[in-house]
């Protein structure tokens, strides 16, 4: 009853970070039952959305017990723990400080990453999968996240098959919700974008990369949030890679990348929460233009096809935009 009362107080922003948080920490870490640990973690999850109550230095202390709870057999506790860790990783101007302890190879380090990727792959519930994919995209996109990227690219299913790229492709193609689809594309975008030649080479040579690119091209026509991540992934994959460029063109990428004025995609919860809806639209358009530039570079056939698709007037309009991101 006391723990339920603390959850209620947390939701009402009436908990004291100095007095109540240490108690919650002890319960999450040493609670006699998993049920008690789950209730305490729920209160902490609420506090992670209140940086004025729970500063970063205290939040960091909650990471290890939350990672342990995320490996629970109880789905509701997994959801709470992943939600708390995801909320923590979204803290503005401090997410790197939170991500480092999440990735640390302590008692739950490598096992936590394997568990997280598995939840992203075969989440017990849609919410569990959404949270896992969201947190995974935050970790692989971090400048400190090489271990997360390596873990994903070497992830094997129960049959021992490496599924890193195939996992992301499946999320994009078959994800039950838009955040899951967008998250799969975001993970690929982050891996392809970051300057890690070994992982980028591994990504480009993966046997499933063609299917992955086809899924990304198709995703350009989906909701704005999915397109936001898909176009970034295509830009990064295509950079200095003629085989990927050819696959994008073969999959109909030129037509799908051309920004249309009448394009009015619906929006859902963004992968990058700090971007407003208009900002996401601008980023999609500017990245699509950049991708077309990559496809056109030193390739007269691609230049001809881009022209025939009617891209030039539209690109000229974008160049005249007053928004720097589009220019």
Concatenated DSSP letters for 32-67?
SSHHHHHHHHHHHHHHTT-TTTS-HHHHHHTHHHHH
SS3 263: coil
Which letter, b or e, does each residue of 9-26 get, where b requires 16 or more Cβ atoms within 10 Å of its Cβ?
ebeeeebebeebbebbbe
Q: How many domains does the chain have?
A: 2
Q: Of 88-102, 201-215, 242-256, which range is least confident?
A: 88-102
Place of tokens 């790197």: 96
In this structure, the answer to whether residues 90 and 168 fall within a common structural domain is no
Q: What span, in angstroms and rounded, lies between the C-alpha atoms of 135 and 131?
A: 6
Among candidate residues 101, 121, 155, the one where a domain is terminated: 155
Give the model's pLDDT for residue 212. 93
In this structure, the answer to whether residues 45 and 131 fall within a common structural domain is yes
In this structure, the answer to whether residues 132 and 163 fall within a common structural domain is no
Confidence of residue 11 (pLDDT cuts 50, 70, 90): low
Beta partners for residue 100, in sequence order: none
Does residue 110 carry a pLDDT above 50?
yes
Q: What is the pLDDT of residues 72-90, one digit of tens each?
A: 888 888 898 898 888 888 8
What is the domain-level CATH number for residue 84?
1.25.10.10
For residue 45, what are the domain limits?
1-155
Q: Of 108-112, 123-127, 174-178, which range is least confident?
A: 108-112
HSE-up of 19 (CA within 13 Å, CB side)? 5
pTM of the model: 0.81
Is residue 204 classed exposed, middle or buried when 0-12, 13-18 and 19+ CB atoms within 10 A define those classes? middle
| 8 or 261: which leads in pLDDT | 8
Q: What's the distance, Cα to Cα, between the start and end of the chain in Å?
A: 58
Q: What span, in angstroms and rounded, lies between the C-alpha atoms of 93 and 135?
A: 17
Among candidate residues 123, 138, 155, the one where a domain is terminated: 155
């Amino acid at each position: 009853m006391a723990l339920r009362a603390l959850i209620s107080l947390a939701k009402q922003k009436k908990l004291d970070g100095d007095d109540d948080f240490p108690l919650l920490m002890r319960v999450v870490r040493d609670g006699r039952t998993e049920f008690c640990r789950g209730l305490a973690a729920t209160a902490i999850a609420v506090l992670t959305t209140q940086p004025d109550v729970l500063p970063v230095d205290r939040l960091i202390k909650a990471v290890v017990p939350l990672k342990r709870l995320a490996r629970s057999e109880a789905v509701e506790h997994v959801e709470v723990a992943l939600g708390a860790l995801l909320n923590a990783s979204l803290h503005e101007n401090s997410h790197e400080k939170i991500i480092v302890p999440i990735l640390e190879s302590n008692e739950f380090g490598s096992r936590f990453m394997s568990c997280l990727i598995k939840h992203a792959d075969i989440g017990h519930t849609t919410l569990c999968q959404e949270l896992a994919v969201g947190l995974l995209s935050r970790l692989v996109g971090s400048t400190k996240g090489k271990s997360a990227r390596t873990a994903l690219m070497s992830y094997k299913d129960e049959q021992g098959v490496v599924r890193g790229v195939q996992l992301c492709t499946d999320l994009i193609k078959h994800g039950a919700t838009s955040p899951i689809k967008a998250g799969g594309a975001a993970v690929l975008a982050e891996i392809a974008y970051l300057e890690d030649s070994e992982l980028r080479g591994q990504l480009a040579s993966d046997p499933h990369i063609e299917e992955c690119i086809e899924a990304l091209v198709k995703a350009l026509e989906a909701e704005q949030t999915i397109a936001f991540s898909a176009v970034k992934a295509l830009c990064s994959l295509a950079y200095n890679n003629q085989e990927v460029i050819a696959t994008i063109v073969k999959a109909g990428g030129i037509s799908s990348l051309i920004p249309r004025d009448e394009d009015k995609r619906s929006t859902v919860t963004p992968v990058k929460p700090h971007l407003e809806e208009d900002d996401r639209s601008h980023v999609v358009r500017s990245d699509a233009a950049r991708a077309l530039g990559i496809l056109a570079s030193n390739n007269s056939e691609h230049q001809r096809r881009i022209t025939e698709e009617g891209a030039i007037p539209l690109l000229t309009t974008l160049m005249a935009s007053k928004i720097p991101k589009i220019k």
